[in-house]
A and B are shown apart, each in its own frame.
Chain A
Amino acid sequence: MSFDYEKYLRPGKLPHIWCPGCGHGIILKGLIRAIDKCRLAKNRTAIVSGIGCASRLPGYVDFNTVHTAHGRAAAFATGMKLADPELTVICVGGDGDGVAIGGNHFIHACRRNIDLTYIIMNNNIYGMTGGQFSPCTPTGAFASTTPYGNPDPVFDIARLAIGAGATFVARTTAYHALQIDKLITEGILHKGMAIIEVVDGCPTSYGRRNKFKSPSDMMTWLKDAAIPVEKTEGMSEKDLEGKIVTGILHRDETRPEYCEQYALLRERAQRKEG
């Protein structure tokens, strides 16, 4: 029997706003499969986003959904999770949303190791506003605000997350559809901050300017550029240039989770009080 996505989609909210060939829809399906695998109760699951094409995802799914302000998903989610630690809180959003304007909240949520699952839909561009470059746009690439090629170096989101203290960090691409739900499932089940970066294509605002003639060219790029982390042993930085390293890149089950730490703090405060 084929998978029943409709069970999790809000009736009457489709069609979505995404362009034909946009990678975001593939990630939406992966997220739904992961939620189904984890058997999350709809009422006890919140999906929180920022602003952007990717951040429109919550409107389509039948959970508690919060479409916040640009870059603020992790900070809203931090408040929600602390207010209701048993609630499963999942953040979604674009690369610009997550690590440009939202970079400060992103790294500090990682540092706290609060039990959120954050899916970054990294299409290397500001899609919604028409293709201005993001911190993830490759150096030299063309965007509406890099007519001479992008002069900026690129953020490696996964490394940023690891450096900041996230305890589960994984990466895949929109081409690797089945790996998306596997990694998100692991992320949801992980106690602590889980970052899942899914590299995907924005044919409209990125592809057209960068020699991807069609959405399928973008898929081919994702397929060819991906390399499973297990196969990177012995490879140098130079060998890995232009590659997308996929799989679970970091996992640490030893660091305490923030809400649990706060619960202990409360106990200490109350012992002192009493």
Chain B
Amino acid sequence: MKKVALIQGNEACAQAAIYAGCRFFAGYPITPSSEIAEVLSRKLPEIGGTFIQMEDEIGAMAAVIGASLCGLKAMDATSGPGLSLKQELIGYACMAEIPCVLVNVMRGGPSTGMPTGPSQSDIMATRWGTHGDHATIAVAPASCQEIFSETVRAFNLAETYRLPVHILMDEIIAHMREKIVFPEEGELEVLNRAEPTVPPAAYKPFDASFGDVPPLAAMGSNYRYHVTGLNKAEDGFPTTKAALVDAEERRQLRKVDVAAVAKNEEYLLDDAEFVIVSFGVVSRSARFAINQLRNRGIRAGMLRPITLWPFPAQRVAEVAKNARAVIVPEMNLGQMIGEVERAVCGACPTRSILRVDGEPITPQQIIDEVEEVQHVL
């Protein structure tokens, strides 16, 4: 019989990390993410893994990257202020192409913000926080069961693409308790990074002849190599040669297969005139609102990005073609709406519902907005 439990979102995330093969966690305490660290501080040593509480978030990110370089699947969990501190090293992991998973349980901001209030205000900080051009993958679950499966997928994506992968949650889903059915071993796919098969002397950590995601050797194995945050050539050593820098930068961006990474939930979208684009806790209000609206004969539906980055621009563009309006409720002052507008590109009107007072967006707010739009259009 399958194991069933009533657990908190953060705990589901921690349990899923172990399921995915995570054996190293470094972090620094911060509400509302701390339960992930607390659970893993207990669980990891039981299975031979390692938990370390570092001196700050920068150190935590550094330790995670170091452990991953030595071959372990590694994770870190934080909230807004910690995300800000980690940005330089998130860029390092992008440049040096070292897989890791970073959970961000979002609170408001800027600065200390509202530590116990829910928010979705780190969408853009996740995408663009670190300087320079880089690929970003972020997943955004909306239930405890999905936190489990998306955490496993986040590890798979990190290992597949040699990238830091973000798990974006808001305080509500991270602290919510829901029933979850634990998948059995082997039920969910668990992927490991590709390791080199060439003789050690021939190994180049960024050898594009093996594709856009070259194999990564564990440091301390038979492969010796160099890692740097400087622009590098295929052999890992720094270069300023224009053609090499250009080729590497472009490969680093190109390597994420947008179609393969994409994952959306589409709820009553086929005939929807009013398309709501939302994720995380807001999507739960949206679902409720859509049911109410449908009862009143209003054809509303939802596109819910589960992979938030890369943003599902193409799908948004497709659904906008048959929509009377696209409505974006989000718990910030207008972040995802920008991506949606860019994708919709004038095909239909777009509307925002914004909230940053520490309270969730209610179904009623969404219902009201749809009804208003219906009248003005």
Q: Are A269 and B66 in contact (CB under 8 A)?
A: no
When chains A and B are docked, how far (Å) is the Cα of A46 from the Cα of B48?
Answer: 23
Q: Are A62 and B230 in contact (CB under 8 A)?
A: no
> Which of B's residues lie within 8 Å of A, judged by CB?
24, 26, 42, 45-46, 48, 50, 52, 54-56, 58-60, 62-72, 74, 88-89, 92, 219-230, 237-238
Q: Are A66 and B227 in contact (CB under 8 A)?
A: yes
| A108 CB within 8 Å of chain B | yes
When chains A and B are docked, how far (Å) is the Cα of A107 from the Cα of B58?
Answer: 14
9 A-B interface contacts by CB (under 8 A):
A64-B224, A66-B228, A69-B89, A72-B59, A79-B24, A79-B63, A80-B69, A84-B219, A105-B55
Minimum CB–CB distance from A137 to chain B (whole Å) comes to: 24
Q: In this complex, what residue of B is CB-closest to A66?
A: B227
Q: Pick the contact of A67: B54, B222, B224, B226 (CB < 8 A).
A: B226
When chains A and B are docked, how far (Å) is the Cα of A272 from the Cα of B219?
Answer: 32
Q: Which residues of A contact B220 (CB under 8 A)?
A: 43-44, 46, 64, 84, 87
| A262 CB within 8 Å of chain B | yes
Q: Are B58 and A78 in contact (CB under 8 A)?
A: no
| A32 CB within 8 Å of chain B | no
Q: Are B56 and A80 in contact (CB under 8 A)?
A: no
Q: Which residues of A contact B54 (CB under 8 A)?
A: 75, 78, 108
| A212 CB within 8 Å of chain B | no
When chains A and B are docked, how far (Å) is the Cα of A266 from the Cα of B24?
Answer: 13
Within 8 A of B (CB), among A175-215: none
Q: Pick the contact of A78: B52, B221, B222, B229 (CB < 8 A).
A: B52
Cβ proximity bits A29-54 to B, threshold 8 Å, 1 near / 0 not: 00000000000001110101001000
When chains A and B are docked, how far (Å) is the Cα of A42 from the Cα of B219?
Answer: 11
Q: In this complex, what residue of A is CB-closest to B226?
A: A65
| A76 CB within 8 Å of chain B | yes
Q: Are B70 and A80 in contact (CB under 8 A)?
A: yes
When chains A and B are docked, how far (Å) is the Cα of A44 from the Cα of B219?
Answer: 8
Given the contacts A59-B226, A87-B220, A79 and B45 also touching, CB distance less than 8 Å:
no
| A235 CB within 8 Å of chain B | no
Given the contacts A46-B219, A59-B237, A72-B59, A83 and B45 also touching, CB distance less than 8 Å:
no
